[in-house]
Amino acid sequence: MTRPVFGRGLRPLAITTALATAAAGALVFFYAPIEADQGFSQKIFYIHVPMAIVALLGFVAAGVMGIRHLRSRDRSWDLRSYVAIHLSIILGVGVLVTGSIWAKASWGHWWRWEEPVLVSFLIVFLLYCVYFPLRFSIEDPDRQARYSSVFAITAGAFVPLNFVAVRLAEQVLHPRVFSQTGGDLPGEMFLTLLVSLVAMALLFVTLWKLELSAKHAAQQLKRLRARLELQAERRAEERVSVGSPS
């Protein structure tokens, strides 16, 4: 079995993330123009949308990792999948909270059914919350990994379909006059959004590697301890059998 090392390249990655985040922050507050309709509160857009996109991509990527796990029977892929889902859920909380704040700031209500990103996120979030009780209710590690991968694949296939469905539904319910997320964005806003998106994606990968490294180290440690204790037991048995009169 190959022994993966998850923490490789973490430092340059983290540095790049820090630079990208700083650049994004600078663009958001000093470069992007103030939007006519919503004013200053439109700036939330630059943190809410990248979080949403990265989280959704994270869920889909976790599904792909699930496929790789099932095909290769290499459990490290299941671990990668698990951490990706874990991170995407945390980002998901952020998406819902910042989306809610944005809704309140721009339109005065804490929730907007018209925003397909927000609505489809709520559904996806509720779905993936089931991942953890399912995963931890299975004791056998091999079975746990397999069932988790099946979940990740099914849910990962669901994410884009769900988004399309919610989008279609909202179009029928609330015909969109102008688009919040995408559509015609002036050049400066688009650039700012892009840089923010890249920064958020880098942050995701950095944190993902960090958690993978920590989890993997903990696993290895547990196995090492078990082996050492087994060795100690065997040595103790040998000493007893040697010492007893034959």
130 binds another protein (CB under 8 A): yes
230 binds another protein (CB under 8 A): no
Q: Which is nearer to another protein, 24 or 245 (CB)?
A: 24
The interface region with another protein, picked from 54-62, 107-115, 130-138, 174-182 by CB under 8 A, is 130-138
Q: How many other C-beta atoms are found inside a 10 Å radius of the C-beta of residue 30?
A: 8
Q: Could you give the C-alpha distances from 181 to 26, 52, 61, 67, 110, in angstroms and in order?
A: 21, 11, 22, 31, 18
10 binds another protein (CB under 8 A): no
Sorted by sequence, the CB contacts under 8 Å of residue 110 that are 6+ apart come out as 100, 103, 104
Q: Which residue has the tokens 């700083």?
A: 22
Which of 224, 233, 234, 239 contacts another protein by CB under 8 A?
224
β-pair partners for 35:
39
Q: How far apart are CA 106 and CA 126, in angstroms?
A: 25
Residues in the site for another protein, rule: CB under 8 A? Answer: 39-41, 43-44, 47-48, 51, 70, 87, 90-91, 93-94, 97-98, 101-102, 104-105, 123-124, 126-127, 129-130, 133-134, 137-138, 143, 146-147, 149-151, 153-155, 157-158, 161-162, 164-166, 168-169, 172, 203, 207, 210-211, 214-215, 217-218, 221, 224-225, 228, 232, 235
